[in-house]
Structure 1
Amino acid sequence: MAHIDPIGALMIFLVGFGYAKPVPVNMRNFRRKRKDGAADNVYYMGSDLTCDSKYAKKCMALVALAGPVSNLLMAIVSLLFMNVIKYLIPLTTITAVLYYFFYYCASVNVALALFNFVPIPPLDGSRILNVALPDKVYYSLMKYERYIMLGIFILILTGALNTPLAWLQNVVIGGLDAIVSLPFKLF
């Protein structure tokens, strides 16, 4: 409940698309293994807290990658259940409803993963892109995060992203389904 944004939740009912509060990340919890095998904090105590910025950028990219990867894993699990219904359970009204429910779950999760991989702030793809960009370029891009978010909402509301994302979504679902359904087709 801590991540629910009242305006973002209201937007779901008004325009069909909403948002949540950003999840805070405590960089003091990032650890890395030293050459001797022990774990080290990324932050070091001194006169002030300083950070090994190259490692911290990689950690933030991994944190950002967790969301889209979990969406893809949920899509794979949904496709697995969908294929169990398709290949192992006789067709009835209930199984048809379940089949389409799991297909819808897979579609939504793939769409969320693809949308979050777009490398523009504040989406996760921009945090992943941060590893490749120089700090100066990345921070100058982040200054415009609010305006870019407004642009994203306009693109969503006008439907400008529908065709490219739907095409890519169908390609990803088709590829994942081909992999997931392979064991079922062999038997």
Structure 2
Amino acid sequence: MLHYIQALLQQMDLSSALDAALRVVSVMLCLTIHETCHGLAALSLGDSTAKSMHRLSLNPLRHIDWLGLLMMFTMGFGWAKPVPVDPRYFKNPKKGMALTALAGPVSNFMLAFSLILLSKGIYLYADYTLVWDVIFNFLLSTAILSIGLGLFNLLPIPPLDGSKVLGALLPDRAYFTLMRYERYGMLLLLLLSFANVGGGLISRAIAAVYTAMINLLY
């Protein structure tokens, strides 16, 4: 009986460790794709700053902010190292910033779509094994995380990507006022997170987008 209990505890520990490791992989994948696509978008619009600083990389260590990663696990949201962008290289700085910012969330939705498509392939063609079951659930949970990251970044609160998109629609005076208060945006996000303001709305939005993708692909 004692041996059985010890084996069960070891299995639980291994399961918890595996879940934690896969969670880290999911977060790093979503953040790396997000930040790399910011840099690629900027490069396509004429700004090679991210390229010159080696930020067009799928190496997560080039993008991960360790405090932001810790916050994602403890507070439910976090951040990566911002990709450096110099709007002076854009023909239309406001439009260029908006498109560069939008590339991040769009890449997260595309990643989620691709992961769900891969999960369908496993569902249809792979024999059931424990390994395939872990991979299947990893793909779907990462898709949900990626959708959440994309939607969260579309909020029009500086320094999130949505504020850059909103800025392209504002008059110059209002745009520069919005950017002036960018450094206070993270404090606002922390306060909103502590107060759990908007969490339910974002959760419902994630569920709606995820369900729509599942219905489309399955």
Shorter-chain TM-score range: 0.7 to 0.9
Aligned residues: 158
The alpha-carbon deviation at position 160 of structure 1 amounts to 2.5
The CA distance in 2 between the partners of 1:3 and 1:151, in whole Å, is 23
User: What is the match of residue 97 of structure 2?
Assistant: 60
What RMSD, in angstroms, separates the aligned Cα atoms of the two structures? 2.2
Q: 1:130 aligns with which of 136, 144, 167?
A: 167
The CA distance in 2 between the partners of 1:80 and 1:110, in whole Å, is 14
User: Are the aligned partners of 2:156 and 2:163 in contact in 1 as well (CA < 8 Å)?
Assistant: yes
Greater helix content: 2
Structure 1 gaps, min length 5? 31-41, 43-54, 182-187
- 3-state SS, counterpart of residue 130 of structure 1: helix
- The structure whose Rg is larger is 1
Q: 2:154 aligns with which of 107, 111, 117?
A: 117
The CA distance in 1 between the partners of 2:66 and 2:130, in whole Å, is 38
User: What is the match of residue 196 of structure 2?
Assistant: 159
The CA distance in 1 between the partners of 2:126 and 2:66, in whole Å, is 42
Instruction: Give per-residue Cα distances to partners, 1:148-182, cap 9 Å, x unaligned.
Output: 3211112223433321111000100111122222x
The CA distance in 2 between the partners of 1:93 and 1:145, in whole Å, is 47
Identical pairs, percent: 41
1:163-178 to 2 correspondences below 5 Å = 163-178=200-215
| TM-score normalised by length of structure 2 | 0.64
The alpha-carbon deviation at position 13 of structure 1 amounts to 6.6
Q: Which amino acid is the alignment partner of residue 106 of structure 1?
A: A
Change in Cα spacing, 1:9 to 1:61, as seen in structure 2 (3 Å) is same
User: What is the match of residue 144 of structure 1?
Assistant: 181
Q: Which amino acid is the alignment partner of residue 166 of structure 2?
A: L
The CA distance in 2 between the partners of 1:14 and 1:104, in whole Å, is 18
Greater strand content: 1
User: What is the match of residue 134 of structure 2?
Assistant: 97
Change in Cα spacing, 1:10 to 1:128, as seen in structure 2 (3 Å) is same
Instruction: Give per-residue Cα distances to partners, 1:120-139, cap 9 Å, x unaligned.
Output: 11100111111111111122
- 3-state SS, counterpart of residue 128 of structure 2: coil
- 3-state SS, counterpart of residue 68 of structure 1: helix
1:76-87 to 2 correspondences below 5 Å = 76-87=113-124
Structure 2 gaps, min length 5? 1-60
The alpha-carbon deviation at position 99 of structure 1 amounts to 1.4
Q: 1:23 aligns with which of 83, 97, 108?
A: 83
